[in-house]
Amino acid sequence: MNDHARRVQEQFGAIAAAYVSSPGHARGDDLDQLVAWGRALSPARVLDLATGGGHTALAFSAITRRVVACDVTEPMLRAARGLLQGRAAAADFVAGDVEALPFGDGAFDVVTCRIAAHHFANVAAAVREVQRVLRPGGSFLLQDILGHDDAEAAAFVTEVERRRDPSHVRAYRAAEWKAYLRAAGLTPIESAVVMKGRPWDEWTTRARMTAEARAQLEAFVLAAPEPCRAAFDFRVAGGRVESFTDRMLLLRADRD
Ligand SMILES: C[S@@+](CC[C@H](N)C(=O)[O-])C[C@H]1O[C@@H](n2cnc3c(N)ncnc32)[C@H](O)[C@@H]1O
């Protein structure tokens, strides 16, 4: 296992339950949009990559015959299994890295991946694996944080993210995603952007930051240039950060 995969497992393995209870993962316009795209495709076999607490796998289990939930972090898979079992939903749970998926060629009609790709060490390799495990004509339904066009704002938020969670790599702009997809033989078909609010206390405590690290991160945000904060709609009241907003990119891309 490489250093980055170890970092991901250390980060998520200790806090798996928090991703099951996280409201921003459990629901949202982003999840509704992915499910709407999925329902229109009537897939028989769905793979949910980087399933985390299992919310996307759970939502897709209602619209397909077979869901496979895959994640590199075993405690996350156990947490996802608990969520789906508690809702009487069926799925298979398979440990695996998106860069080397343990599935055969063309095994799935739809592959989903939500709120996860910004943790991948090598997005190009991950997208190639998605293309390989999709049948020809199958669809990749992706949702992830949209990278900001302004370089200073993008660098600011990447620093905030990495101080909170060292397994964060970075968010990509729509043009970057489309280039990765096309290079792997996936054609972008539909896209959307939806907002996701990040309540500061919930967001920082979910990552199990120490009180000291949280205070330092808040000071970093408060000291940042105002346009950087404005780019993510950071809300500040009484000298405290209250929330910010991520733009989430959703893409459907079909295998050529
Ligand atoms: C925020 S959670 C995903 C949330 C989930 N998809 C949902 O809709 O609620 C991010 C997940 O990505 C997983 N992950 C990160 N890098 C990975 C990789 N290379 N291969 C597989 N899973 C990975 C982590 O283990 C973690 O469970």
Q: Are 50 and 71 in contact (CB under 8 A)?
A: yes
Q: Which residues pair with 195 in a beta bridge?
A: 247
pLDDT in tens, 10-46: 999 999 999 999 999 999 999 999 999 999 999 999 9
pLDDT in tens, 191-214: 999 999 999 999 999 999 999 999
Looking at residue 2, its pLDDT comes to 81
180 lines ligand 1 (CB under 6 A): no
- Per the prediction, the chain carries an average pLDDT of 97
| Beta strand segments in 200-239, E | 235-237
* Cut 0.95: pTM above it: yes
51 lines ligand 1 (CB under 6 A): yes
pLDDT in tens, 108-123: 999 999 999 999 999 9
Going from the Cα of 238 to the center of ligand 1, the distance in angstroms, rounded, reads 35
Looking at residue 177, its pLDDT comes to 98
At residue 157, does pLDDT exceed 90?
yes
186 lines ligand 1 (CB under 6 A): no
Q: How many residues does the chain have?
A: 256
Going from the Cα of 83 to the center of ligand 1, the distance in angstroms, rounded, reads 15
8 lines ligand 1 (CB under 6 A): yes
CA-based nearest residue to 161, from 170, 150, 173: 170
CA-based nearest residue to 168, from 221, 209, 131, 220: 209
CA atoms of 238 and 236, how far apart (whole Å): 7
50 lines ligand 1 (CB under 6 A): yes
Q: Are 207 and 15 in contact (CB under 8 A)?
A: yes
